[in-house]
Amino acid sequence: MTEQESPEAFGARARAWAAKNLPPAEGPEGLEVDDTEELRIVAEARELQKLIFEAGFAGIRYPAEYGGQGLTRAHQLAWREATAGYRLPVTFNVTHGILGPTLLEFGTHEQKTRHLPAMLSGQELWVQFLSEPSSGSDLAGLLTRAERDGDTFILNGSKIWSTGAHYSDYAMVLARTNPEVPKHRGLSMLYMPIRSPGVTVKPIKLVTGGSHFCQEFFDDVALPVANLLGEENDGWRVASGLLFHERNMVGGNSLNDHVPPGGGEGETDTIGELIALARAVGRDKDPHTRQLLGEALVLEALAEPTIARVNAQLQAGRMPPPAASLVRLMSALTQYRVKEIALEIGGTRVTMNGADDRVGIHGQRWLGARIGTLAGGSQEMQRNGISERVLGLPREVTPDKDVPFSQVLASRRKGQAG
Amino acid sequence: MDIELSNEQRFLQETVRKFLEHEAPLSATRDKAANGEPPFTRDYWRRAAELGVAAMLVPEEFGGAGAERPVLDLVVVAEEMGSQVAPGPLLPVSVVADALARDGTRDQKGEYLPRLADGSLLASWAVGEAPDTWEPDGAATWARRDGGDWVISGEKASVEAADVADIFLVTARTADGMAQFLVPRDAPGLSVQMLPRYDLGRLFGDVALEDVRVPAGAAIGEAGSVDASLQRQYLLALTLQAAETVGLLERIFDATIEYTRNRYAFGRPLASYQALKHRIADHKLWLEAALGLSTALARAFAASDEGCGRLASVTKAHIGDQSPAIISDCGQLFGGIAMTWEHDLHLYLRRATANKFLFGSPAQHRERLCRLIGL
């Protein structure tokens, strides 16, 4: 195609295709699925993604040379609108919204040719191994180490909070390759097949009963040097890029196609659910409840104009890349507030009706409401990012910044600051 | 500011900015309030009109600016006037001009529009009623036919520039449905009770109509068939109010940040304290959302988008709640100096607080949103 198809025409074509090929969405999602059901959903997602790829709709904003469509955000939004109401392979969101864009940004041509088409065609699910049990917000203080032995890195340590590692195929892992330099300068980003010898993956059970997250343990895992992403010891730059894409994705603004407009968590119809809740408890005419519903309507409607504005400023170079924190913080705060609102509308029965009930589900979601203000960087980290990187206010004091990491560790053991 | 302004719009913005800095600095507004003088003179408004600010929505043949994107240009002016908390009846004059341009007869247009455009005629929109009825179809003011005339009775509340307006566009209920009339301020039976000054740059008054008789030719549009026009005027008012409010919010926020960078306590700039940085980050987020909403609303209104009605209430609820709250916290960040008459902050806070309630409070707009989705 020499001339680019208009978003409207693309959307119309997508709509017609979806009607014929995609299964309809099932009722309100949100109840925690059990492990068997989860694996079924993942298998289905691989099939659906393959279908979408073969029909020429996968990776709408990915370059054509790596299996994508080379189109724009307007086309992506048209796709999202056209496919609302259908089952979509949302399992691939992390792969297409975070790891794919990172590979696109930092990978060699060979690495991209080998893996991007596989991601877009449903063959490879990717995940990131960043956080560790002893370092969350202070990511650069991580302990997992990759020691170089000729053309091989030997990986030892543990990672945590990786989404769906137990059913994924590849991971990007940030590890320390030089402890004798300050913490940010001795890290490297590698990628690895998750089912490598020496890797143990354990799902973590959450308060809501589900286990979307995992912890991994590495015992002398051997990885070829060819799996380096970016330069050795330049992993912090790659990780920063990855985190940028993560904030963008959670804010609904990355290269992953299958997200309903306005939203991060795949809760397709927040307002519809709140209305159903208000009716179920007989409060839909109550003025206070209507104020809360009105507030939720406002919160839901903030996303698109705010994302559009932040995007325009990013593209015009009037805001630096960390401005993605604005979108991430917005989605964290608004989604948290919506969960509070549901609780207040529902009243006593949210704690009485059980997790399988459309009233009780809001009591369960409340228990996990902090996942959204923590995952992908806590809201406090986003606020640091906005004030320091977007507004240019003075940085927080970091006593460990220019000290070789081995010394930081030594003083940590002695219980000193820095 | 909308970051996608055309070169012409940037020029317009710059022109209005310089005019206001010269003709209506905050210090002058403050002094006039202290001395009990009106916030602006007719001459000031005529000179502002020379820049085209009152002519945006007037058709070219009646003295209009003939701009390619009149609504978006007007929004640029409203933002700029907001950012300097400037005096001048931009909003009511624009609403009246828009009503005339859409529904007026040729005679009505010829009589009023050229003078509105050149600033020699001041008009206001008498739509609100006590205690807080702002949706035009909620008016209780009543008009009945009497021979060839209309006789109007009712009380309109919080009418902008009521002290200087030459004509009022009055919304009223009739046996046929809603209607609107242009009523001269000297019409027998019309009285204006001016209200104490809160926003230092604007004066408001209550307008009472006791059996005010106007000829049939005073009706703008036909009684019973102006519902769409009233709705449009309401949305235009909300669009301009949003633009004005984000303009002032952005300005005072930027000034506050600058202050926290330069003010030192315990050997560090205020802006280095995380307790303050995190609040500032939240304000920045909600400011960006406000700016994004304002732009989206202006575009939706200009395109007569069907989602405009809902977006207007979303925008009002967000900006109405956030702007006084953020400016108030800016006062906390400035410290005691912001509680003085000589500091600019209270001028911003006054206008943002007044705007929170004019044309419907955030709570009223949340309720309106519920109605709009069929609840």
Chain segment A104-163, per-residue pLDDT in tens: 999 999 999 999 999 999 999 999 999 999 888 889 999 999 999 999 999 999 999 998
> Is omega for the bond preceding B196 within 30 degrees of 0, making it cis?
no
Q: Rounded to a whole number, what is the distance in Å from the CA of B351 to chain A's nearest CA?
A: 23
CB burial of residue B361 (10 Å; 0-12, 13-18, 19+): middle
State which residue of chain A sits closest to B287, comparing Cα positions.
A306
Whether residue B27 has pLDDT greater than 70: yes
**Cβ pair B284:A326 closer than 8 A:** yes
- pLDDT band at residue A35 using 50, 70 and 90 as cut-offs: confident
**Cβ pair A295:B366 closer than 8 A:** yes
* Nearest CB neighbour to B281, from listed A275, A302, A383: A383
Query: Any residues with CB less than 8 A from the CB of A398 and at least 6 apart, and which?
Result: none
- pLDDT band at residue A262 using 50, 70 and 90 as cut-offs: very low
Active site residues of A: 246
Residue (of B288, B365, B343, B271) closest to B30 by Cα position: B343
Q: A120 is written with which tokens?
A: 């877009």
State which residue of chain A sits closest to B294, comparing Cα positions.
A305
Cα distance between residue B36 and residue A210, in whole Å = 67
CATH of the domain at B255: 1.20.140.10
Is the CB of residue A107 less than 8 Å from the CB of residue A36?
A: no
What does the buried/exposed string (b/e) look like for B32-70 if buried means 16 or more CB atoms within 10 Å of the residue's CB? bbeeeebbbeeebbeebbebbbbbbbbbeebbbbebebb
- pLDDT band at residue A416 using 50, 70 and 90 as cut-offs: low
Find the farthest-apart pair of alpha carbons in chain B and give their distance in angstroms, rounded. 79
CATH of the domain at B135: 2.40.110.10
Is the CB of residue B285 less than 8 Å from the CB of residue A323?
A: no
H helix or E strand, kind and range, residue A216: strand A213-224
Q: Rounded to a whole number, what is the distance in Å from the CA of B300 to chain A's nearest CA?
A: 11
Please report whether residue B169 resides in a domain: yes
State which residue of chain B sits closest to A303, comparing Cα positions.
B289
Report pLDDT digits (tens) over B311-336.
999 999 999 999 999 999 999 999 99
* Nearest CB neighbour to A329, from listed B4, B285, B292: B285
What superfamily does domain A7-124 belong to in CATH? Acyl-CoA dehydrogenase/oxidase, N-terminal domain (1.10.540.10)
H helix or E strand, kind and range, residue B264: strand B264-265
C-alpha distances out from residue B369 to A293, A296, A298, A326, Å: 9, 10, 8, 26
Tell me the angle at which helices B274-302 and B227-262 cross, rounded to the nearest 10 degrees. 150
* pLDDT score at A207: 86
Q: Is B116 helix (H, G, I), strand (E, B) or coil?
A: helix
Does one domain contain both B312 and B244? yes
* pLDDT score at A264: 43
Q: Rounded to a whole number, what is the distance in Å from the CA of A96 to chain B's nearest CA?
A: 26
**Cβ pair A309:B292 closer than 8 A:** yes
Is the CB of residue A362 less than 8 Å from the CB of residue A332?
A: no
Pairing verdict, β A213-224 and A228-229: unpaired
**Cβ pair B366:A291 closer than 8 A:** yes
Q: A76 is written with which tokens?
A: 């992506």
Is the CB of residue B212 less than 8 Å from the CB of residue B189?
A: yes
* Nearest CB neighbour to B318, from listed A275, A298, A386: A298
Domain boundary among B198, B218, B238: B218
Report pLDDT digits (tens) over A318-370.
999 889 899 999 999 999 999 999 999 999 999 999 888 999 999 999 999 99
Q: B300 is written with which tokens?
A: 């939706």
Q: Is B182 helix (H, G, I), strand (E, B) or coil?
A: strand
Whether residue B53 has pLDDT greater than 90: yes
Does one domain contain both B253 and B366? yes
Does one domain contain both B271 and B174? no
**Cβ pair A306:B363 closer than 8 A:** no
Please report whether residue B88 resides in a domain: yes
Does one domain contain both B89 and B64? yes
User: DSSP assignment of A94-158, as one string?
Assistant: HIIIIIHHHHHHH--HHHHHHHHHHHHTTS--EEEE--BTTBSS-GGG---EEEEETTEEEEEEE
CB burial of residue B169 (10 Å; 0-12, 13-18, 19+): buried
Report pLDDT digits (tens) over B173-212.
999 999 999 999 999 999 999 999 999 999 999 999 999 9
Domain boundary among B218, B235, B265: B218
Pairing verdict, β B123-126 and B167-174: parallel
> In chain B, which residues have their Cβ closer than 8 Å to the Cβ of A276?
none
Please report whether residue B96 resides in a domain: yes
Q: Is B123 helix (H, G, I), strand (E, B) or coil?
A: strand
Residue A6 DSSP class: P
Does one domain contain both B30 and B141? no
**Cβ pair B271:A393 closer than 8 A:** yes
Chain A residues with at least one Cβ partner in B under 8 Å: 271, 275, 284, 287, 290-291, 293-295, 297-298, 301-302, 304-310, 312-313, 316, 318, 326, 329-330, 333, 380, 382-388, 390-391, 393-394, 396
Which amino acid appears at position B290 of this protein?
A
**Cβ pair A290:B370 closer than 8 A:** yes
> In chain B, which residues have their Cβ closer than 8 Å to the Cβ of A333?
282, 285
H helix or E strand, kind and range, residue A204: strand A199-204
Report the number of secondary-structure helices (H) and strands (E) in chain A: 14, 8
State which residue of chain A sits closest to B316, comparing Cα positions.
A298
* Nearest CB neighbour to A305, from listed B268, B272, B292: B292
The CB-side HSE value for B208 (13 A sphere, CA atoms) comes to: 6
Which amino acid appears at position B282 of this protein?
D
Does one domain contain both B97 and B140? no
Whether residue B65 has pLDDT greater than 60: yes
Give the residue from B316, B366, B368, B372 with the most A CB atoms within 10 Å of its CB, the best one to mutate. B366
pTM, two decimals, is 0.90
> In chain A, which residues have their Cβ closer than 8 Å to the Cβ of B293?
301-302, 305-306
Question: Is-same-fold flag (A127-234; A269-390)?
Answer: no
Report domain extents, chain A: 7-124, 127-234, 269-390
Q: Which is more confidently placed, A246 or B277?
A: B277
> In chain A, which residues have their Cβ closer than 8 Å to the Cβ of B318?
298, 302
Report pLDDT digits (tens) over B141-166.
999 999 999 999 999 999 999 999 99
Residue A182 DSSP class: B
Q: Rounded to a whole number, what is the distance in Å from the CA of A304 to chain B's nearest CA?
A: 8
C-alpha distances out from residue B332 to B130, B221, B335, Å: 33, 50, 5
A269-390 topology per CATH? Butyryl-CoA Dehydrogenase, subunit A; domain 3 (1.20.140)
* Nearest CB neighbour to B366, from listed A294, A309, A382: A294
**Cβ pair B314:A297 closer than 8 A:** yes
Report pLDDT digits (tens) over B250-298.
999 999 999 999 999 999 999 999 999 999 999 999 999 999 999 999 9
**Cβ pair B3:A297 closer than 8 A:** no
Architecture label for domain A127-234: Beta Barrel (2.40)
- pLDDT band at residue A185 using 50, 70 and 90 as cut-offs: very high
SS (H, E, C) B30-98: HHHHHHCCCCCCHHHHHHHHHCCCCCCCCCHHHCCCCCCCHHHHHHHHHHHHHHCCCCCCHHHHHHHHH
Domain span including residue B235: 227-372
- The total domain count for chain B is 3
Give the Cβ contact number of residue B21 at 10 Å: 12
> In chain B, which residues have their Cβ closer than 8 Å to the Cβ of A287?
367
Our CA angle for B270, B271, B275, nearest 5°, is: 85
Distance of CA A360 to the CA centre of its chain: 27
Domain boundary among B218, B247, B263: B218
* Nearest CB neighbour to B292, from listed A297, A308, A386: A308
**Cβ pair B295:A302 closer than 8 A:** no
CATH of the domain at B20: 1.10.540.10
Please report whether residue B2 resides in a domain: no
* Nearest CB neighbour to B281, from listed A304, A312, A387: A387
> In chain A, which residues have their Cβ closer than 8 Å to the Cβ of B291?
309
Cα distance between residue B317 and residue B312, in whole Å = 9
Q: How many CB pairs under 8 A join A and B?
A: 117
**Cβ pair B277:A388 closer than 8 A:** yes
Please report whether residue B1 resides in a domain: no
